[in-house]
């Protein structure tokens, strides 16, 4: 029997899933961040042990590290030896409308590894790449020489991420000295606060800050082997304008065309440049021994041209700064010390985040699966908030480390961000949705070059929206309706004319391409060739693939949703949109189940079972028969290659099961025992050694459980229809799915 009475104690719900670690777990570092900036730490609360948190090697590249410092503005390009142009990768493909130019690739991608690519293709795929903007870690001073500390020197570790405040407390013993470190990130600016409390500060403990060059490697945002390719210089100290009694030092960074600054602020602090790209931050010892056991400082990262840390308050829940605690007064002479001011801002913001939006509580359910699912839900909210709520669509690994050189994949944007609207936190979706307006022109040029109307959204890109050469990415089409879907979710969360007018061009231009991409035949309107469906197993036959099941349903739903937007705005309908939506061919059925595509081999049982998205991610459309989809779900669950799946496939199955009114199967799918469905101690959805976290899995989970709890239009009229009847499910603040 479901229990729904009473308001959820959100603080208790959140804090029972605080992350506690008593040992170094190489797969589960902890992060602080704000959506625009992220900082990932080891057991010391800093980035002292990067080699202990590896990202697995790929091909002949050395392993990287999970301990990244990344921002939405931090991008870099290595100057090419000569100008490279996408035109050199253009290949003409036959289509029902005649030859169509596609950006292809001479080389290939085998098991996610690039092979036999040309120099131009390699550069175009690797630039722009996301940059690691600096590393902050402990060092030990011996005989006047600073060295990095090593894992074997650290004992008695105890670390907690308090989700309610967004603050990490790390305790350990080093050289016989107890050390306590408080780590926090400001919610509205790219600023970190560090407070180190230890007698070791008087015995040789200090902080090292180092800066790398940008890396073209697939998984690593830092190149530490090219010191002459970039410059680091330091100005200061000058007295801080914000913190009385504090000094600031400004670090100037130049990497080819990329520029940024780093501002270090503290009291009783010394900062000196000890190497080409290395700084030493230490306590300025005083005659008062009791003051020599605390190091309190901030490190703020500023993109080129910013006079101050970038404000982010306009897309965040309002938080009230708490009263100054008595022990904070006097730390810098007046008011809060630098680190405590950042900590206080974090402690003000995160309770507002957790107290707003939606919540789901499963703890009262006896089924042990419920407690694990609740843990995944809470941690996924935190991880997607700090990694996926920024002004750009995120990369699959967020702001932790690079994957695909930090370039983001637009077909994954829905999985990163749709849940923000379902969880009534639409303000965290809007910044990345607004980004599409910045690449309208380049996307329109792609559509026009191929003879289509509207805009064709790219796939694997950086902030400029320039496509990457690929034998797969440029042939995908399922990212095309995503902006329509995300805009519709934003409207459902805030049904206002303001939302309609802001995103109308994105919605209408997306639909214009979709209508012109479909071509008429005697059977009806069809999709492709060429194309590759969401299930990329058909890449080798892209020249003849047609009518993938999911994409057909998405085309119909997307075009009708765009038409609804025109009606809401009082605009005349576009006849072609209705013509295509009403006359799309039905998906292929083979042996009583939906095939993935409309040509042989029909279904390959690897990668995403994407045909399930056609009723699950999407509501029921005219093209889908629920009974056939029920048989399709059973067929997938009975015999699919789970090792080749990805983390968002399990939420897909859960959403399909829920819409088919099979809640037990929905829960089973979310917690299916499969390698890529594992969720680590820190909440990350691990995939492989070289992809040790995968935020589409976290975002997909949140979208699925919101649908399972709040239901969907024209769905069953009962509480939490996607959960088993004997579970106690309490939820509030969620937005019903389409």
The values of phi and psi at residue 323, to 5°, are -60, 150
Does this model's pTM top 0.75? My answer is yes
| pLDDT of residue 369 exceeding 50 | yes
Instruction: Write the DSSP assignment of 138-173 as a string of letters.
Output: EEEEETTEEEE--GGGEEEEEEEEETTTTEEEEEEE
| pLDDT of residue 75 exceeding 80 | yes
SS3 112: coil
Decide which of 169 and 283 is more confident: 169
| Tens of pLDDT, residues 467-482 | 999 999 999 999 999 9
Are 72 and 38 in contact, with CB atoms under 8 Å apart?
no
Look at residue 285 in the predicted model and tell me its pLDDT: 75
| Residue (of 604, 601, 609) closest to 637 by Cα position | 609
| Residue (of 634, 663, 414) closest to 671 by Cα position | 663
**Quick one: average pLDDT of 619-633?**
98
Residue 196, CA distances (Å) to 14, 104, 204, 293, 345 in order: 26, 52, 13, 8, 18
Look at residue 244 in the predicted model and tell me its pLDDT: 83
Look at residue 695 in the predicted model and tell me its pLDDT: 98
197 burial level (CB within 10 Å; 0-12, 13-18, 19+): middle
Look at residue 737 in the predicted model and tell me its pLDDT: 97
361 burial level (CB within 10 Å; 0-12, 13-18, 19+): buried
**Mean pLDDT, the chain, as a whole number?**
93
| Tens of pLDDT, residues 50-71 | 999 999 876 666 678 999 999 9
Residue 236, CA distances (Å) to 67, 106, 240, 263, 317 in order: 28, 51, 10, 10, 35
Look at residue 218 in the predicted model and tell me its pLDDT: 84
SS3 198: coil
**Quick one: average pLDDT of 367-378?**
97
3-state secondary structure 418-439: HHHHHCCCHHHCHHHHHHHHHH
Instruction: Write the DSSP assignment of 75-99 as a string of letters.
Output: EE-PPPSS---GGGGEEEE--TTS-
Are 32 and 697 in contact, with CB atoms under 8 Å apart?
no
Least confident of 218-222, 495-499, 718-722: 218-222
Look at residue 2 in the predicted model and tell me its pLDDT: 52
**Quick one: average pLDDT of 232-247?**
90
Residue 255, CA distances (Å) to 69, 215, 366, 406 in order: 16, 11, 56, 17
Look at residue 216 in the predicted model and tell me its pLDDT: 93
**Quick one: average pLDDT of 330-359?**
86
Q: Which pair of structure tokens corresponds to residue 160?
A: 């907690």
Least confident of 10-14, 83-87, 320-324: 320-324
Look at residue 62 in the predicted model and tell me its pLDDT: 66
Least confident of 1-5, 110-114, 146-150: 1-5
| Tens of pLDDT, residues 171-204 | 999 999 999 999 999 999 999 999 999 999 999 9
| pLDDT of residue 431 exceeding 90 | yes
| pLDDT of residue 110 exceeding 70 | no
Within 494-548, where are the H helices? Answer: 497-517
Give 321's pLDDT tier (boundaries 50, 70, 90). Answer: very low
Q: What span, in angstroms and rounded, lies between the C-alpha atoms of 157 and 178?
A: 10
Number of continuous H segments (helices) and E segments (strands) in the chain = 15, 33
Look at residue 312 in the predicted model and tell me its pLDDT: 42
The values of phi and psi at residue 584, to 5°, are -65, 145
Look at residue 331 in the predicted model and tell me its pLDDT: 43
Q: What span, in angstroms and rounded, lies between the C-alpha atoms of 41 and 50?
A: 9
The values of phi and psi at residue 476, to 5°, are -75, 150
Are 364 and 720 in contact, with CB atoms under 8 Å apart?
no
**Quick one: average pLDDT of 611-623?**
98
Give 684's pLDDT tier (boundaries 50, 70, 90). Answer: very high
**Quick one: average pLDDT of 685-689?**
95
Q: 177-185 and 37-41 as β-strands: parallel, antiparallel, unpaired? A: unpaired
Order of strands, sheet of 247-255, starting from the edge strand that comes earlier in the sequence: 19-21, 154-162, 167-174, 177-185, 191-197, 294-303, 258-266, 247-255, 231-239
Residue 647, CA distances (Å) to 29, 396, 412, 651 in order: 19, 11, 12, 8
| pLDDT of residue 368 exceeding 60 | yes
Q: Which pair of structure tokens corresponds to residue 586?
A: 């039905």
**Quick one: average pLDDT of 323-346?**
65
| pLDDT of residue 309 exceeding 60 | no
């Amino acid at each position: 029997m479901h229990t729904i009475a009473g308001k959820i104690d959100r603080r208790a719900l959140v804090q029972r899933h605080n992350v506690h670690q008593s040992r170094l777990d190489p797969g589960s570092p902890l992060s602080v961040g704000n959506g625009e900036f992220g900082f990932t730490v080891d057991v010391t609360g800093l980035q002292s042990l990067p080699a202990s948190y590896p990202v697995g090697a790929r091909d002949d590249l050395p392993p990287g590290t999970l301990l990244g410092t990344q921002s939405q503005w931090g991008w870099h390009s290595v100057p090419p030896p000569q100008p490279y142009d996408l035109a050199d990768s253009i290949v003409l493909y036959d289509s029902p409308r005649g030859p169509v130019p596609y950006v292809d690739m001479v080389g290939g991608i085998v098991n996610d590894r690039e092979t036999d690519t040309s120099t131009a293709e390699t550069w175009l795929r690797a630039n722009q790449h996301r940059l690691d903007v600096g590393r902050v870690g402990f060092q030990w001073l011996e005989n006047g020489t600073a060295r990095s500390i090593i894992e074997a020197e650290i004992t008695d570790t105890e670390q907690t991420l308090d989700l309610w405040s967004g603050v990490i407390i790390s305790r350990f013993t080093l050289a016989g000295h107890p050390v306590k470190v408080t780590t926090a990130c400001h919610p509205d600016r790219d600023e970190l606060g560090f407070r180190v409390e230890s007698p070791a500060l008087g015995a040789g403990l200090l902080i090292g800050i180092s800066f790398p060059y940008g890396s073209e490697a697939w998984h690593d945002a830092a190149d530490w082997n090219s010191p002459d390719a970039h410059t680091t210089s330091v100005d200061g100290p000058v007295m801080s304008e914000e913190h009385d009694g504090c000094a600031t030092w400004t670090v100037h960074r130049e990497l080819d065309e990329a520029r940024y600054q780093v501002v270090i602020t503290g009291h009783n602090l010394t900062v000196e440049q000890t190497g080409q790209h290395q700084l030493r931050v230490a306590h300025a010892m005083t005659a008062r021994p009791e003051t020599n056991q605390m190091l309190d400082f901030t490190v703020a990262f500023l993109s080129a041209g910013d006079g101050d840390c970038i404000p982010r308050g306009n897309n965040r829940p309002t938080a009230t700064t708490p009263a100054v605690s008595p022990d904070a007064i006097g730390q810098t002479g007046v008011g809060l010390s630098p680190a405590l001011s950042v900590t206080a801002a974090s402690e003000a913001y995160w309770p507002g985040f957790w107290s707003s939006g939606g919540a789901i509580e499963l703890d009262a359910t006896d089924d042990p699966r419920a407690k694990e699912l609740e843990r995944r839900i809470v941690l996924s909210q935190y991880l997607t908030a700090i990694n996926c709520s920024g002004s750009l669509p995120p990369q699959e690994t967020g702001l932790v480390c690079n994957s695909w050189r930090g370039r983001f994949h637009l077909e994954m944007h829905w999985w990163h961000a749709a849940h923000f609207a379902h969880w009534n936190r639409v303000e965290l979706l809007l910044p990345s949705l607004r980004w599409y307006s910045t690449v309208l022109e380049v996307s329109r040029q792609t559509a026009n070059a191929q003879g289509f109307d509207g805009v064709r959204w790219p796939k694997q890109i950086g902030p400029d929206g320039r496509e990457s050469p690929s034998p797969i990415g440029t042939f995908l089409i399922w990212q095309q309706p995503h902006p329509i879907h995300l805009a519709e979710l934003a409207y459902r969360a805030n049904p206002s004319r303001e939302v309609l007018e802001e995103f109308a061009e994105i919605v209408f231009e997306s639909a214009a391409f979709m209508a012109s991409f479909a071509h008429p035949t005697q059977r009806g309107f069809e999709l492709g060739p060429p194309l590759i469906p969401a299930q990329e197993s058909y890449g080798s036959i892209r020249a003849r693939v047609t009518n993938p099941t999911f994409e057909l349903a998405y085309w119909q739903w997307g075009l009708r949703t765009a038409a609804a937007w025109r009606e809401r705005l009082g605009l005349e309908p576009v006849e072609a949109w209705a013509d295509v939506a009403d006359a799309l061919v039905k998906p292929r059925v083979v042996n009583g189940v939906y095939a993935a595509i409309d040509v042989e081999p029909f279904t390959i049982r690897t990668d995403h079972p994407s045909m399930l998205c056609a009723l699950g991610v999407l509501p029921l459309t005219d093209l889908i028969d629920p009974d056939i989809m029920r048989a399709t779900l059973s067929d997938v669950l009975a015999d699919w290659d789970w090792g080749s799946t990805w983390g968002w496939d399990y939420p897909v199955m859960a959403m399909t099961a829920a819409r088919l009114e099979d809640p037990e199967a929905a829960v089973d799918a979310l917690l299916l025992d499969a390698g890529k469905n594992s969720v680590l101690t820190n909440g990350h959805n691990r995939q492989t050694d070289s992809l040790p976290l995968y935020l589409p899995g976290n975002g997909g989970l949140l979208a699925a459980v919101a649908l399972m709890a709040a239901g969907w239009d024209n769905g069953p009229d009962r509480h939490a229809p996607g959960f088993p009847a004997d579970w106690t499910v309490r939820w509030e603040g969620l937005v019903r799915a389409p």
